């Protein structure tokens, strides 16, 4: 009998790879060797200094291809002295695994790798299994999953459906499946006036007054009340700066930035036009110049409830006894790129400690996640 791949040991090995984005740290080298030995055709799809790995078991471009997507890069550990266990130790104590990436998301990658390897060894499917693993999810996300998808299109590789293994559960295993995400965009404002003495404000053009009025209007505006599958859109003011230490000087310039998380009632383009209109309005009222720069990190998207979410729901219910909520809450993920390739949903661990000091995960959750992923593969190819 073939020995099953232990996802806990694999998670430990991945944590010990210091893959702080965008460093590969040995994580993808380790996975490529393991998957190649298991019969997967592996290709490194590196781009822009970012390491990515594509692995396929089965025929290329097969009509029935189930894919998993995830990342092995992690955020920096912060103050190493504040950790109970060293951040790259992979220490295992009392049924808990510690280290940077334990939750987000080396455990998720280990679980779907272990599930895929054991599945194709024991019950070779009539179809293909694809693993698309990036080293650039926590960074700029320009040369990560997008590079993999670009390469797949160029070479005729394809997935029929995909599951992203990001942490999705708020409190307990099985709480939540993500079937979409809000869009995300950031706007930076630079307001230019005329410097002057604060005792003679009529001789200056105060950029702060214009910026304060603009930001108040933006922050006070209700973008919407939500839609069928999405929460209400939000706008957060994240910084306002002048760098002016003098109380008797009206500065010549100031800046601010806002971040918008938006639902399917908006697009990045429509919100950009609104920001431009409000900036022009404030500039005209106060006689100042206002420059706006916008970065759209991703548009909102939805995989409507249906076969894929039903498949994952059944597997989660069978292994956890919980019926997961279908949600579009939270931040962005690489699913925003995959959705242009094939239907995609997300399911993974409880995300309470991700990006925190002392990031950790119960080992029982990793085993449970592997069982869920195995059941998804079994049912998909049944």
- CA pair distance 152, 154, nearest whole angstrom: 5
Is 280 designated active site? no
For residue 168, CA distances in Å to 270, 284, 332 come to 29, 45, 12
DSSP secondary structure of 14-50: HHTS--BTT--TTHHHHHHHHHHHTT-EEEE--BTTB
Q: What are the φ/ψ torsions at residue 356 (nearest 5 degrees)?
A: -95, 160
State the catalytic residue, choosing from 73, 138, 346, 359: 73
Is 143 designated active site? no
DSSP secondary structure of 55-124: EEESSTT-SSEEEEEEE--B-----GGG-SS-TTS--EETTEEESTTTTTTHHHHHHHHHHHHHHHHHS-
Category of 25 on φ-ψ map: left (φ > 0), alpha (ψ -120 to 50) or beta: left
Residue 177 CB contacts under 8 Å (≥ 6 apart), including other chains: 168, 309, 312, 313, 316, 324, 325, 326, 327, 345, 346, 347
Taking every pair of Cα atoms in the chain, the longest distance, rounded to a whole number of angstroms, is 87
State the catalytic residue, choosing from 32, 137, 166, 319: 137
Are 42 and 53 a contacting pair, CB within 8 Å? yes
- CA pair distance 270, 296, nearest whole angstrom: 11
Q: Give 88: exposed, middle or buried? Use CB within 10 Å, 0-12, 13-18, 19+.
A: buried
Q: Give 241: exposed, middle or buried? Use CB within 10 Å, 0-12, 13-18, 19+.
A: exposed
Residues with active-site annotation: 73, 137
């Amino acid at each position: 009998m073939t020995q099953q791949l232990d996802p806990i040991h694999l998670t430990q090995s991945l944590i010990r790879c210091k893959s702080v984005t965008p460093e590969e740290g040995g994580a993808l080298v380790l996975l490529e060797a393991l998957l190649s030995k298991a019969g997967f055709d592996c290709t490194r799809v590196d781009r822009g200094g970012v390491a990515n790995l594509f692995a396929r078991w089965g025929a290329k471009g097969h009509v029935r291809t189930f894919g998993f997507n995830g990342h092995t890069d992690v955020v920096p550990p912060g103050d190493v002295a504040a950790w109970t266990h060293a951040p790259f130790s992979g220490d295992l104590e009392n049924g808990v695994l510690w280290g940077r990436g334990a939750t987000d998301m080396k455990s998720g990658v280990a679980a779907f790798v272990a599930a895929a390897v054991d599945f194709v060894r024991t019950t070779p499917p009539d179809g293909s299994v694809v693993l698309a693993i990036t080293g650039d999810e926590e960074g700029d996300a320009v040369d990560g999953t997008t590079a993999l998808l670009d390469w797949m299109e160029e070479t005729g590789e394809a997935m029929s459906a995909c599951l992203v293994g990001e942490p999705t559960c708020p409190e307990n295993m099985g709480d939540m499946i993500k079937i979409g995400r809000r869009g995300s965009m950031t706007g930076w404002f630079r307001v230019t006036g005329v410097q002057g003495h604060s005792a003679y404000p009529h001789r200056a053009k105060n950029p702060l007054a214009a910026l304060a009025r603009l930001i108040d209007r933006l922050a006070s505006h209700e973008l919407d009340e939500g839609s069928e599958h999405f929460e209400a859109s939000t706008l957060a003011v994240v910084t306002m700066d002048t760098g002016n230490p003098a109380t008797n000087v009206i500065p010549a310039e100031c800046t601010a930035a806002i971040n918008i998380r938006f639902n399917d009632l908006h697009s990045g383009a429509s919100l950009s036009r609104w920001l431009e209109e409000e900036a022009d309005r404030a500039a005209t009222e106060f006689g100042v110049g206002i420059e706006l720069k916008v970065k759209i990190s991703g548009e909102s998207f939805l995989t409507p409830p249906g076969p894929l979410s039903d498949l994952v729901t059944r597997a989660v219910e069978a292994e956890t006894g919980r019926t997961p909520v279908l949600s579009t809450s939270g931040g962005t993920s690489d699913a925003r790129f995959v959705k242009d390739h094939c239907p995609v949903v997300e399911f993974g661990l409880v995300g309470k400690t991700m990006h925190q000091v002392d990031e950790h995960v119960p080992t029982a959750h990793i085993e449970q996640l592997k069982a869920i992923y195995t059941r998804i593969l079994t049912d998909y190819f049944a």
